[in-house]
Amino acid sequence: MELSWYLQECDVSAKIEDLNLACFNSSPIEGRRFWHRMNQFLWHDPHYPQSPVRHLIQFLAKKVKTIGNNGASSMYLNLDYPSELIGIELLKLLVSQKSSLRIMVGGQSCGTKEQQERIQQLADGAVDLFFSAQSPSRLAKQISEVLSVNSDRDLSSGVPEGVDVADRSRKFRLDHVTDWCEDTLSGSYLPISLGSGCPHQCSFCPRGTGNISFVPRECDEIIEEITNSVKDGGTSKLWFTGLCFTSHPECEILLDQLRKVAQPISWGGSVSLLTMIDKKLVDQCHQSGCDGLICCPVHGDEEILHTHFSSETKLQNIVQNVQQLREAGIKTGVNLLVGFPSEGFVSTARNHELIEWLAPFDPLFQSVAPLAVFPLTDLYEQSEKWGITAHDPVLVHNWQDQAGSRFPVRVSRVKELVRHIRHTGRGFGNNLPVDYLHASASHRVAARIRDPLIFRDEPFHPHLDSLVRKYAYGGVSLFTGICEIEPNDEPLLQGIDTGDAALNGPEIVHLDLTNRCNMNCLACWDKSPLVKTDTDHPEPGRESLQYDQVVTLIEALVALGGTRTVKFGGGGEPTLFKGWLEVVKHLRNRDRSIEIDLNTNGSSLS
């Protein structure tokens, strides 16, 4: 059987995601069609030399090795798709080839400790393995629930009037609370949806459900899903998504039922600080296995704000809520959003007061780092008073000038901000937070620098990196950005009182070679050209950078120095860029100390 025929027949070329650093599956509709065709071939014994599956595994492994030899350093191996059988066999081949790649293994096939130990034994220390608890199949199911989409309904069904389907698919593609807690709450958590349309509108809520009807799931249905997951040998660690836990109308009944599940479980979730938590509810949470909650101060319309933040007593209640949870042994993190008065958020002055109340409780600022977002002027005046510590991430909003018109935060303002933070001892490492933009009006980002200062000018919604947002520089081209960060008058990062060495160039470069993609994933954060619009025509303006442009950028980065990592991907499928492998080779030849990460859905490799 010809391999090319096999790939074409079962549509593997459009669906395999074995090489994806940030893997999402295609929509449940397409996934169902793919599985129907793929199952026709899975009966072949993979150890049989003529098996088409075996050919496919060897073919992919060869491609992976080629990428590794040319400098890529990381890959994602999803054991669920197209099947665990293929994933395990591919892992075995990678081990036998002694691949130098760091391999993240994900999917339900490695959701338990026993499964992870079995996979580690297969690796036998030959490759650097680490595990991701994110199960793409679970995420696809969760997304379809929130969007009210299933395999028999059109993607536009269940979408409120006036809401673009593509916007909804990006906005609700992932409830990433588990990402926030990955380093804080031990273990791997299985997401369990409580419903959709949370009535609260809390700061940095990953759901953003202000315009969605409140539809909680039935308590019996939730318990049945949990029982089946535990019974089938899945993880006993759960994370409740879709709603704040306390906003579910049967919250107390659900807590009581959780205690009766045959196998002991532990769970986490988010809770709005609009909900004044009494001791009885705290005790119920603890007894039912709760070991972590994310607490979110509210933002929203003025009526809610004045009601919730109108008195000193209300602020004390917030602190009291968190204290009660922590005293009960429940790990607790608080996310803080400050300084958006022009956008209907809590007034800056009232947030200063909230910060002062929370500041003495240092653990609040450590269990899950708070998110402090403020205009530059307030940062200058209030940073020391707020007690923002060195490890806290600081987000700078694209603020409004006095005339009310938006302006981009230019690199010169970044320099000023950096000097101020370092002068006050608020060190944040030697990362340079600047976005490089493609000059074309049809798309925005050609390359961007991430971490830890993040610029944004669009409403927050979840991202694979949780908080990273694209930022439009208003016409600044890719190479104008490069010129602005060159050390003309002084180094960009200068340790004023610390004596730190200057960093002349960016540390992390995220380079979007193209915004074209060959997949139609429901969970895509960068509108695929295959995503249908209201007119049922693909979105226009798909394009790629020129090879000469990319080489010029690489030369500029090498000349500046300081760059440690270049990430290819994010705006589209990088392997659709003509000459992407030559770009990787060129960068590796110019500076072998630079780490290269390739984010690909793997389709072009086959």
DSSP 89-106: HHHHHHHHTT---EEEEE
Task: Tell me how many degrees the CA angle 295-243-337 measures, rounded to the nearest 5.
Answer: 35
Q: Of 563, 446, 415, 459, which is closest to residue 210 (Cα–Cα)?
A: 459
Sign of the CA dihedral 514, 515, 519, 525? Answer: positive
With a CB cutoff of 8 Å and minimum separation 6, the contacts of 62 are none
User: Phi-psi category of 404—alpha, beta or left, where left has phi over 0 and alpha has psi -120 to 50?
Assistant: left
**How much is the pLDDT for 320?**
72
Question: CA 168 to CA 176: how far, in whole Å?
Answer: 16
Higher pLDDT: 537 or 292? It is: 292
Pairing mode, strands 237-241 and 508-511? unpaired
Q: Where are the alpha helices (DSSP H) in 103-234?
A: 113-123, 136-146, 165-171, 177-181, 219-231
Tell me the average pLDDT across 309-329. Answer: 63
Task: Tell me how many degrees the CA angle 319-320-324 measures, rounded to the nearest 5.
Answer: 120
**How much is the pLDDT for 72?**
53
Work out the number of other CB atoms within 10 angstroms of the CB of residue 218: 10
3-class secondary structure, 202: strand
**How much is the pLDDT for 120?**
77
User: Minimum mean pLDDT among 25-29, 334-338, 355-359, 386-390: which range?
Assistant: 25-29
Q: Considering its fold, how many domains does the chain have in total?
A: 1
Question: CA 483 to CA 476: how far, in whole Å?
Answer: 11
User: Phi-psi category of 76—alpha, beta or left, where left has phi over 0 and alpha has psi -120 to 50?
Assistant: beta
Q: Of 540, 514, 545, 543, which is closest to residue 529 (Cα–Cα)?
A: 540
Q: How does residue 555 score in pLDDT terms, banded at 50, 70 and 90? A: confident
Tell me the average pLDDT across 140-165. Answer: 32
Element at 372 (helix H, strand E): strand 372-374
pLDDT digits (tens, 9 = 90+) for 19-45: 222 222 222 223 333 333 333 333 333
Question: Is 326's pLDDT higher than 60?
Answer: yes
Q: Is residue 122 part of a domain?
A: yes
The top-scoring range by mean pLDDT among 38-47, 271-280, 374-383 is 271-280
Beta-carbon-side half-sphere exposure of residue 537 (alpha carbons within 13 Å): 5
Give the residue numbers spanning the domain of 112: 3-135+533-605
**How much is the pLDDT for 585?**
82
Q: How does residue 268 score in pLDDT terms, banded at 50, 70 and 90? A: confident
The top-scoring range by mean pLDDT among 12-16, 125-129, 534-538 is 125-129
Q: What does each C-alpha distance from 591 to 209, 432, 578, 580 come to in angstroms?
A: 46, 19, 22, 17
Question: Contacts by 300-308 with C-beta closer than 8 Å and gap 24+?
Answer: 300/200, 300/201, 300/210, 300/344, 301/344, 302/344, 304/201, 304/274, 305/346, 305/347, 305/350, 308/274
Q: How does residue 586 score in pLDDT terms, banded at 50, 70 and 90? A: confident
3-class secondary structure, 382: helix
**How much is the pLDDT for 476?**
33
Question: CA 486 to CA 555: how far, in whole Å?
Answer: 13
Higher pLDDT: 359 or 283? It is: 283
Q: How does residue 238 score in pLDDT terms, banded at 50, 70 and 90? A: confident
**How much is the pLDDT for 569?**
60
Q: Is residue 590 part of a domain?
A: yes
DSSP class of residue 501 equals P
Mean predicted lDDT score pLDDT of the chain: 50
Higher pLDDT: 45 or 171? It is: 45
Q: How does residue 455 score in pLDDT terms, banded at 50, 70 and 90? A: very low
Question: Is 275's pLDDT higher than 70?
Answer: no
Pairing mode, strands 445-448 and 454-456? unpaired
- Residue 187 burial by CB count (10 A; 0-12/13-18/19+): exposed, middle or buried? middle
Question: Is 590's pLDDT higher than 60?
Answer: yes
Q: Is residue 580 part of a domain?
A: yes
**How much is the pLDDT for 75?**
59
pLDDT digits (tens, 9 = 90+) for 94-128: 777 665 666 666 655 666 667 777 777 777 766 66
Question: Is 208's pLDDT higher than 60?
Answer: no
Q: What tokens were used for 345? A: 């958020």
Question: CA 545 to CA 568: how far, in whole Å?
Answer: 13
Question: Is 7's pLDDT higher than 60?
Answer: no
Q: In the chain, pLDDT over 90 holds for what percent of residues?
A: 0
Higher pLDDT: 484 or 176? It is: 484
pTM value is 0.35
- Amino acid identity, position 384: E
Sign of the CA dihedral 389, 390, 393, 396? Answer: positive
Higher pLDDT: 313 or 44? It is: 313
Work out the number of other CB atoms within 10 angstroms of the CB of residue 208: 16
Please list the residues that pair with 544 across neighbouring strands.
514
Question: CA 515 to CA 525: how far, in whole Å?
Answer: 11
DSSP class of residue 52 equals H
Work out the number of other CB atoms within 10 angstroms of the CB of residue 130: 11
Q: What tokens were used for 533? A: 């619009």
3-class secondary structure, 158: coil
Question: CA 111 to CA 93: how far, in whole Å?
Answer: 22
Question: CA 466 to CA 451: how far, in whole Å?
Answer: 11
User: Tokens 């996979």 appear where?
Assistant: 119
Q: What does each C-alpha distance from 473 to 104, 411, 435, 438, 446 come to in angstroms?
A: 34, 10, 8, 10, 12
Question: CA 383 to CA 337: how far, in whole Å?
Answer: 14
Kindly report the backbone phi and psi dihedral angles of residue 10, in degrees, each rounded to the nearest multiple of 5, phi listed first: -95, 5
Question: Is 552's pLDDT higher than 70?
Answer: yes
Q: In the chain, pLDDT over 70 holds for what percent of residues?
A: 21
User: Minimum mean pLDDT among 56-65, 190-199, 318-327, 492-501: which range?
Assistant: 492-501
* Structural Rg of the chain based on CA atoms: 25
With a CB cutoff of 8 Å and minimum separation 6, the contacts of 435 are 445, 447, 448, 449, 455, 470, 471, 473, 481
Q: Is residue 23 part of a domain?
A: yes
Q: Is residue 115 part of a domain?
A: yes
Convert 436-487 into a string of H (helix), E (strand) and C (coil): EECCCCCCCEEEECCCCCEEECCCCCCCCCCCCCCCCCCCCCHHHHHHHHCC
Question: Is 582's pLDDT higher than 80?
Answer: yes
